[in-house]
Amino acid sequence: MVRRSGIHGRGLFAGMDLPGRRKLGELSGRVVGRLAARREILRHPVIYFVTLNRRDALDCREGNAFKHLNHGCAPNCFLRVRGMAVEVYTLREIAKGTELTVDYGTTPHPGGMACQCGFPQCRRIL
């Protein structure tokens, strides 16, 4: 379920207890050129793109609820790129009501972006 997040904007939260190492679903969106995606990323403070390969990216701005996955330095989920699909998996058991997070790594924004995940060992920057 999507609702207000303490990390950033809106987030995706577990609607039930989730088992560890399970596929939750796939990010949806349209495939665009990676260079076009990079130009769009630099124009906006929030990123809704996932790199698929050297040429392509998934533009999730008009995608499903998985586009609301926020970054966390101690994530409870991970993304797996399989061809032109981006799958979402749990890393461990997740209690109902917990925000689902993934580690997005570094951002292409010049100077990075401030991390707001709240984890005690937060990297402070993406």
Q: What is the CATH number of the domain that holds 79?
A: 2.170.270.10
Query: What 3-state class would DSSP assign to 21?
Result: coil
pTM of full prediction above 0.75: yes
Answer yes or no: is 71 within a domain: yes
Answer yes or no: is 48 within a domain: yes
Domain holding 79, by residue range, is 2-102
Domain total of the chain:
1
Residue 109 has pLDDT above 80, yes or no: no
Q: Cα angle at 124 between 13 and 110, to 5 degrees?
A: 105
Query: Measuring CA to CA, how many Å separate 105 from each of 18, 70, 84, 95, 123?
Result: 24, 12, 20, 24, 10
Whole-number Å distance between alpha carbons of 125 and 51: 20
pLDDT for the residue numbered 39? 86
29-80: per-residue pLDDT in tens? 999 999 898 888 778 777 888 999 999 999 999 999 999 999 999 999 999 9
More confident of the two residues 105 and 97: 97
Answer yes or no: is 118 within a domain: no
pLDDT for the residue numbered 54? 94
- Report the relative pairing of strands 30-33 and 23-27 from DSSP bridges: unpaired
